[in-house]
Structure 1
Amino acid sequence: MVDEIVANAVPSQIEAIASAMTKAHRSMAHKKDLVERIAIDEDCDVKLLNADGVDLRGFDLSAGEKQIFTQALISAVSSVSGRGFPMVVDTPLGRLDIEHRKGVLNHLVQREHQVILLSTNTEVVGEYLSEIAPHVQKKYLVHFERVGEIGQSTVKPGYFENTKGRA
């Protein structure tokens, strides 16, 4: 998917996307010295380069590292395109370790356009919710209920702090 998105970018914007991806990745990742820069070559191959020029994508990245890479790409394309579009992130912290969580949230709240987070009752709560609270405009709780053979979801104003962790 990453290669397809980059391949469809205007070739003159490839360097700008690589630079924006590097900046976004650095703001989210807690291992700031692991990735020196993100490079995109003329064939639109994306590389996560360390200080020695080794492409880290050739190694087995964790699910969290892959998520940060993908979010950096989306953020970069958005910023380079100059178009304001909302970003919807489902389970934004689900695959991330504690060190990455605040970095990702702080990066997302710095976006100029709307960000919608679909969180579980163990993700954007407590200290993480407090961290971004000044940037949160609305909070909703999606409640699922089985009605006979089908499921039904309802949306109400509120959030998990009103349910004592039940979802």
Structure 2
Amino acid sequence: MFSDDNKAKNEIIEEEIRDLKKFISQFKEAKKKSLEEKIKKGLNTLMHKKDFIYRVEVNISVSGEDVEITLFTKVGNKEQKVDKGSLSMGERQMYSSALLSALVDESNIEFPVFIDSPMQKFDQEHAKNIIQHFYPSVSNQVVLFPLIHKELTQGEYELLKKRVSRSFLIDNLSNDSSTFLEVEPDLLIQKYDELYVASN
């Protein structure tokens, strides 16, 4: 009798484990599909080659530790794999931005995003797309560290300015000392020019 009870319990446990594995597999597949769609949408929104990316394929290892992402374009009626190494530096940064945006969105966790040299590799059209579509939506709090006039022009800042809540300049007091100088967002470029351009 005891043996029969154990057998019945084991069968129930094994069935629950099978159901759980099936659920996890379906959940991973749904997340994979969602990630593929978000990366594709992000790339086609940010790149000025509209609909350049026809399909995105995400492969997640069994352990879940490794993820491989493959991009496809369409030439005529055929899919063609995109060699990520052939992308321009700006396009690679677009890819990184789309990937970051998709991962942040999929995580459902709100955390700040810090971006150094935000527009360094972008041409004018890519920079405009990033400012209008990526920075406003990637997170509730985005902190940019641009070199003014080199990585963020006056025109680019004008597109961004309405979304800037606080702005700071790093004021170098000496060779080994600096401080953050808070500046009204409307006056950021003007103040930078007063402090650094006029003195050169």
3-state SS of 2:193 partner? coil
Q: 1 CA distance for matches of 2:128 and 2:145?
A: 16
Higher mean displacement: 100-109 or 37-46? 37-46
One-letter identity of the residue aligned with 2:166: K
Quote how far apart the aligned CAs of 1:42 are: 4.7
Q: RCO greater where, 1 or 2, for CA within 8 Å and sep 6 or more? A: 1
Runs of at least 4 residues off by over 4 Å: none
Q: Does residue 1:128 correspond to 2:117, yes or no?
A: no
Greater C-alpha radius of gyration: 2
1:27 to 41, 45, 48: 45
2:91 is matched with 65
Gaps of 5+ in 2: 1-26, 62-66
One-letter identity of the residue aligned with 2:191: N
CA contact (8 A) 1:125 1:161 kept: no
2:180 to 138, 155, 165: 155
1:139 to 151, 167, 183: 167
Equivalences for 1:27-106 in 2 at 5 Å?
27-43=45-61, 44-51=67-74, 52-106=78-132
Q: Rate the CA distance shift 1:58–1:142 in 2: closer, same or farther, 3 A.
A: closer
Higher mean displacement: 130-139 or 39-48? 39-48
Gaps of 5+ in 1: 1-9
1:3 is matched with none
Q: 1 CA distance for matches of 2:112 and 2:72?
A: 29
Q: 2 CA distance for matches of 1:87 and 1:112?
A: 7
Q: 2 CA distance for matches of 1:28 and 1:143?
A: 33
1:110 is matched with 137
Quote how far apart the aligned CAs of 1:111 are: 3.5
CA contact (8 A) 1:141 1:160 kept: no
